[in-house]
Amino acid sequence: MANFNNRRGGRKGPAPQEGEQVVRVRLPKKEEREVLAIVETLLGANHLKLRCMDGVVRLGRIPGSMKKKIWIHEGDVVIAVPWDFQDGKADIIWKYTRPQVDWLDKKGYLRT
């Protein structure tokens, strides 16, 4: 929310406290068949090899909407949605940042 007492511009809110970091994490939705995955290999032409948390190795595809905006490298943690008609393939819909991966690991989401 905006601080309306500040009428000259600048920062709109209080500074975060020392050592306090708010991390917002998007979790996979089971009802939409989303699953966490770790990128194993870049195969080229927007394709990757993914090791999913359900124990399946899938061929992942980076959709065109993410292609130029988000760069994905080996070892990155992503959310993948397996195809309905071909379970060995999946679309990547989300990439986690380093603080988000640390939070997921601390909470136990990345254990297989």
The CATH number that applies at residue 92 is 2.40.50.140
Contact assessment for residue 80 and residue 94, using Cβ atoms and an 8 Å cutoff: no
Number of domains in the chain: 1
Confidence of residue 30 (pLDDT cuts 50, 70, 90): confident
- Judge whether residue 70 has pLDDT over 60: yes
Confidence of residue 31 (pLDDT cuts 50, 70, 90): confident
The predicted model gives 31-36 an average pLDDT of 89
In a domain, 14, yes or no: no
**Tell me, what's the pLDDT at 23?**
73
Q: Which is nearest to 82 in space by CA: 37, 15, 45?
A: 37
- Judge whether residue 47 has pLDDT over 90: yes
Contact assessment for residue 58 and residue 48, using Cβ atoms and an 8 Å cutoff: no
Radius of gyration from C-alpha coordinates of the chain:
18
Query: Measured between alpha carbons, how far is 38 from 76 in angstroms, rounded to an integer?
Result: 6
In a domain, 21, yes or no: no
Comparing 74 with 4, the larger pLDDT belongs to: 74
Contact assessment for residue 109 and residue 27, using Cβ atoms and an 8 Å cutoff: yes
